Amino acid sequence: MLNKRNSTFVFALTLSLLGAGCASTPKTAETSDANDPYERFNRKAYGFNDTLDRNFFEPVARGYAKVTPEPVRAGVTKFFDNVNYINVIANDLLQGKGGQFASDTGRFVVNSTVGVGGLFDPATKIGLVSHDEDLGQTFGTWGMGEGAYLVVPVIGPNSFRDLPNLASSMALNPLTWVNSIVTIPIGVLSAVNTRANLLEATSIRDQAALDPYTFVREAYRQQREYKIYDGNPPGEGYENYDEEKSDAAVLKIY
C-alpha cells in the first residue's frame, strides 16, 4: 500500500514537465563544466518528457486555465505549497537554521489554521515569509558535490545529490498517507495547476532557446547553486539572476 501511494505522488509530480521559462544562464566556474556524463540518455529522457507535455499535459493545462479563475488557481497553489512545507521545515532543522526553523514552523501553523488549510496566506502578512529548502540543498550545505546531472523520465531535471529529495519530500507530505482514492485526483489537480501556472513560461522557452536541453540543464544547475547559498553564491554571473524566472525554467514542484 505504501508503494502504491508513493507511486501516486510520483505520478502527480511528473505531470509538470521540465524545460520551460526564461532564465539567464551565464557561464560560471560551476556551470562551465556541463557535468553531464549521461547526456545521450538525458537528451532522450528530455525528448520523451517534452513530447509527453506537448501532446497531453499542456493541452489539459490550457483547458484547465480557461475554465478556472485565476484567484481559484492561486488558492490551489497556496494549498499545495503549504502541504509541502513540512519538507522545508525539516531541512531548516537539518541545516541548523534555528531561527528560520521557528519562523517556518509558525508559518505552517498559521496558514494551516487561520489560512484554512493553506488556501490563504495570512502568515506572509504578519511577517512569516516563505523559504525554499530541500534535501538536495541540505546535502549541498554539508559539502556534498552535486554529482552528475540527470534527467529523470517524466520527472525532469535532477542530479545525484538532489535525487533523494524525491523520496523525502513524499514521505513528509501528509497527503502521501491518505487513501489513494483521494490522493490520485488531488495529485493530478496539483500537477495540472502547476503546469497551467507556467504556460507562458513554456512559450518564452520555445522562442528564446536554440537548444532547450542545454538551456534547461544550465538553468537547473545555476538555480541549485543559488539556492544552496541562500541567494549569495560565490563566483560571477549572478548579478542579473532572476530566481522566479529560473524556477519557471526548470519547473520543479517538489
Instruction: List per-block mean pLDDT (blocks of 10 residues) for the chain, which spans 254 residues.
Output: 37 34 37 79 95 92 95 95 97 98 98 97 97 97 96 93 95 89 88 88 70 88 91 72 60 40
User: CB atoms < 10 A from the CB of 127, how many?
Assistant: 9
Q: What pLDDT is stored for residue 215 in this prediction? A: 86
For 230, other C-beta atoms within 10 Å of its C-beta total: 15
Q: Where are the alpha helices (DSSP H) in 128-211?
A: 135-141, 165-171, 180-197, 199-208
Cα–Cα nearest to 85, from 140, 130, 141: 130
Element (H, E) at 139: helix 135-141
Q: State CA 77 to chain mean position distance.
A: 12
Provide the whole-model pTM. Answer: 0.80
